[in-house]
Amino acid sequence: MNHNPILIEPGELEPLLDDDKLLLVDLGKPESYAQIHLPGAMHLDYSLLLAGTKPAPGLLPPEERLAHLAGMLKLDSASRVVAYDDEGGGRAARLAWTLHYLGYPSVQVLNGGIRAWNNEGHPVSEDPVFLDNARTLPVASHDPTVLATREYVLEHLDDDGVVLLDARTPEEYAGTKAYAARGGHIPGAKNINWQDTMDPDRNLRLKGASQLQDMLTLRGIDPRQEVITYCQTHHRSAHAWMMLKSLGLTRVRGYAGSWSEWGNDPALPIEQGGS
């Protein structure tokens, strides 16, 4: 199976639109999709990527729902999936991360999403394309190196070869704002607000590689380490996972339970304060 860079630019994607084995997936708001989307793009409800159950709604869905997702996306026949959204890539990145977990690495995120595509004059459509909601495709194997579970995170808290990247706001990281029973962060985690990695002057593309690398260096994140990303529900941290992959890091996991799981479990250690 081909491995493509995690990001694709609008100008690179447009010549590929006639490829009948290319699958375009829109994860923006349904009302946005109804008004404008890439020609041939299918709309996918973001909730299909999540377990959706409290206290940790961001966990992966059950196996039968993953098989349903794989079937709807026709992963057995698509040569490449390109995902995009209308918010800077967080939802699209969650799909990319999920497909990597399902052993399908031929997936890319459109850098800048529909905003960059439309603002820069690429063709758009209003014609809906429908997913096959009845199709399932059982997945034979998963890539365990993509996922960090609560147990995995706990086991590696004192491992110098592993670092945690918290993609939430500084207030959530410090614990002054909490969306769980407890506020704060996982011990030792470094904080990079996912929005700080986007460039509003370039249609919410990721910032340049040198700027992003400087952010990591400032926080003592070494590309030779394994990096585990998390946020509240592994939405923002899926974007952080994508950002790290775009820089060439190969050992990157997403903690799907994220703070909604960790912060609601009184048995797990936390830290508060810091930046």
The residues carrying an active-site annotation are 231
Closest CA to 125 of 207, 248, 8, 40: 40
Using DSSP's 3-state secondary structure scheme, residue 124 falls into: coil
For residue 2 the two structure tokens come to: 């081909």
Residues 253 and 250: their CA atoms lie apart, in Å, by: 9
Per the listing, tokens 């945690």 go with 164
CB atoms within 10 A of CB 187: 14
Residues 35 and 31: their CA atoms lie apart, in Å, by: 7
- Paired strand residues for 22: 80
Q: Where are the alpha helices (DSSP H) in the chain?
A: 10-13, 30-35, 63-72, 90-101, 113-119, 150-155, 170-174, 209-218, 236-246, 258-262
